[in-house]
């Protein structure tokens, strides 16, 4: 038995509602300045995606520079205002791992933010962009000696140490240079964010951070976190700035940040008292969520800032301590929604899938699911296969009055898991040559991109004031072959 079920498919997940208008953009998934023109073509700052495709090809990451700058300013202004009476404001570090190139690094600096890096390569981008060392931080659970030396060469503002072994290595390298390394200790406060297991980073059983649990070292009654504080204060080549935590990613509610902040403040106060030291800084990490689908409900920065400030204020008052200088590390929340990926549709096919009948006791019914293949895939967006991440999509090259059809947007790679958008309603007349746009791809898409199946990685176009320019050139076949040393270049 088969049925079309009035266009509402029982195969769709419960959260996926049938849109009132398939041609309408659903906020807040899109950057400011993205809209449909009278011809139904998606535009950004007035530039039609058809023109972008003609000039730059597809797949293509399309970013609003103005939207990026606005979101960066919003974080800086909101957190400065919320913490003004507590610690004079907040140091906002843009998490470069989400997406980094020299243009973005320059925007970050121009908007008054600092930059968080996680490797020597990201430090190299920062240096090329002219970012001053004191405005940089270096993360990473396994920094090489070369990366630590590079950070010291650049006089970075802080090295975030992830383990006791690394603390000893940083101290030894700095001592050998006759220098003092500015260090923060990354702790795991045991606050579990409601997110995918692989992006929840504050629980104990994972690679990041120093445990605050008392039985986390062989030394009875001493946590790894406290052992690190004691060690850091004993090294003449280390200046211990303070503590750091990061509880996960794609978090919508501020409660977890508040709980983690309170735990770290209590630990900070205990360490200051026990070791007669001052820890002047506390970093509460990032992980603020964005809207990938219509049901996602991100909080505005001001709301998150005020909730976190209330906890810091009350906890410091209760403990009778001077509030440390607070810092945060938003990445996705700044860049994620600034960008959409533009694809061209290729092949299409419809399959039949069994599902329980809608009436009680009814036998299984087969329903249609359409596969819409595009000219990119997991090489430009690995998040669905890595994290089961959900996205949305819209027909970008025209309007349509066709009926909605449950669709799965897939890539062109030789993997069954090569899914770009698992479930979305698209017009039934979508055809080869149409353009699709997937919003919310600014974070961790280009950054995780690959050359699987020898596909060239897409370029990134920044649009501002009606003008588009490449900020990252798309790769060519020549780029792919240049590193292949098997046959001499002819």
User: Above 90 in pLDDT, residue 153?
Assistant: yes
User: Above 90 in pLDDT, residue 252?
Assistant: no
Contact 49, 434 (CB under 8 A): no
**Looking at 101, 245, 414, 445, which residue is catalytic?**
414
Task: Calculate mean pLDDT across residues 435-441.
Answer: 98
Please report the pLDDT score of residue 354 as a whole number. 87
- pLDDT tens for 91-124 read 999 999 999 999 999 999 999 999 999 999 999 9
Bigger pLDDT: 291 vs 197: 291
Torsion of CA 203, 266, 134, 68, to 10 degrees: 60
Contact 466, 46 (CB under 8 A): yes
Angle, CA of 397, 403 and 408, to the nearest 5°: 70
Helix/strand/coil for 441:
coil
Q: Which residues contact 108 (CB under 8 A, 6 or more apart)?
A: 72, 94, 114, 115, 131
Nearest to 180 by CA among 156, 209, 210: 156
Q: What is the DSSP string of 385-408?
A: HHH------EE-SS---SPEEEEE
Task: For residue 68, give both structure tokens.
Answer: 């990026």
Task: Specify the pTM.
Answer: 0.93
- pLDDT tens for 53-93 read 999 999 999 999 999 999 999 999 999 999 999 999 999 99
- Catalytic residue status for 316: no
Average pLDDT of the chain, as a whole number: 92
Please report the pLDDT score of residue 31 as a whole number. 98
DSSP state of 98: S
- pLDDT tens for 170-214 read 999 999 999 999 999 999 987 655 543 433 344 456 677 899 886
Please report the pLDDT score of residue 490 as a whole number. 56
Task: Calculate mean pLDDT across residues 327-347.
Answer: 98
Helix/strand/coil for 252:
coil
Interatomic CA distance for residues 161 and 181, integer angstroms:
11
- pLDDT tens for 362-412 read 678 898 999 999 999 999 999 999 999 999 999 999 999 999 999 999 999
Task: Calculate mean pLDDT across residues 309-327.
Answer: 97
SS3 track for 26-58: CCCCCCCCEEECCCCCEEECCEEHHHHHHHHCC
Please report the pLDDT score of residue 4 as a whole number. 46
């Amino acid at each position: 038995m088969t049925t079309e079920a009035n266009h509402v498919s029982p195969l769709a997940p419960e959260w996926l509602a049938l849109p009132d208008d398939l041609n309408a953009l659903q906020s807040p998934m899109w950057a400011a300045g993205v809209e449909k023109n009278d011809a139904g073509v998606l535009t950004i700052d007035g530039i039609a995606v058809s023109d972008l495709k003609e000039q730059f090809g597809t797949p293509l990451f399309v970013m609003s520079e103005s939207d990026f700058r606005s979101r960066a300013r919003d974080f800086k202004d909101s957190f400065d205002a919320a913490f003004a009476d507590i610690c004079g404001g907040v140091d906002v570090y843009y998490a470069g791992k989400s997406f980094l190139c020299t243009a973005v690094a320059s925007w970050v600096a121009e908007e008054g933010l600092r930059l968080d890096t996680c490797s020597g390569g990201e430090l190299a981008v920062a240096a090329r962009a002219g970012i001053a060392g004191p405005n940089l931080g270096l993360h990473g659970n396994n920094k090489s000696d070369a990366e630590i030396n590079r950070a010291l060469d650049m006089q970075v503002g802080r090295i975030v140490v992830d383990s006791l072994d690394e603390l000893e290595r940083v101290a030894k390298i700095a001592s050998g240079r006759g220098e003092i390394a500015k260090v923060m200790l990354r702790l795991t406060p045991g606050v579990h964010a409601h997110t995918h297991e692989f992006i929840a980073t504050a629980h104990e059983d994972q690679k990041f951070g120093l445990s605050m649990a008392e039985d986390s070292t062989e030394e009875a009654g001493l946590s790894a976190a406290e052992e690190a504080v004691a060690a850091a204060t004993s090294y003449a080549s280390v200046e211990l700035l303070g503590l750091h935590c990061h509880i996960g990613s794609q978090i919508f509610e501020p409660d977890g940040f508040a709980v983690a902040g309170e735990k770290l403040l209590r630990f900070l106060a205990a360490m200051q008292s026990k070791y007669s030291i001052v820890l002047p800084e506390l970093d509460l990490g990032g992980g603020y969520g964005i809207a990938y689908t219509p049901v996602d409900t991100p909080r505005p920065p001001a709301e998150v800032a005020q909730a976190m400030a209330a906890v810091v204020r009350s906890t410091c008052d209760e403990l009778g301590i001077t509030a440390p200088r607070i810092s945060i590390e938003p990445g996705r929340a700044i860049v994620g929604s600034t960008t959409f990926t533009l694809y061209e549709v290729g092949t299409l096919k419809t399959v039949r899938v069994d599902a329980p009948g809608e009436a009680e006791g009814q036998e299984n019914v087969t329903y249609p699911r359409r596969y819409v293949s595009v000219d990119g895939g997991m090489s430009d967006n690995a998040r669905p296969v890595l994290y089961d991440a959900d996205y949305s999509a819209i027909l970008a090259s025209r309007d349509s009055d066709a009926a909605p059809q449950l669709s799965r947007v897939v890539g062109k790679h030789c993997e069954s898991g090569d899914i770009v958008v698992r479930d979305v309603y698209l017009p039934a007349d979508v055809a080869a040559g149409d353009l699709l746009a997937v919003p919310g791809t600014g974070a961790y898409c280009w950054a995780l991109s690959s050359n699987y199946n020898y596909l060239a990685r897409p370029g990134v176009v920044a649009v501002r004031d009606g003008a588009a320019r490449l900020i990252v050139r798309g790769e060519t076949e020549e780029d792919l072959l240049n590193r292949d040393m098997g046959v001499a270049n002819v």
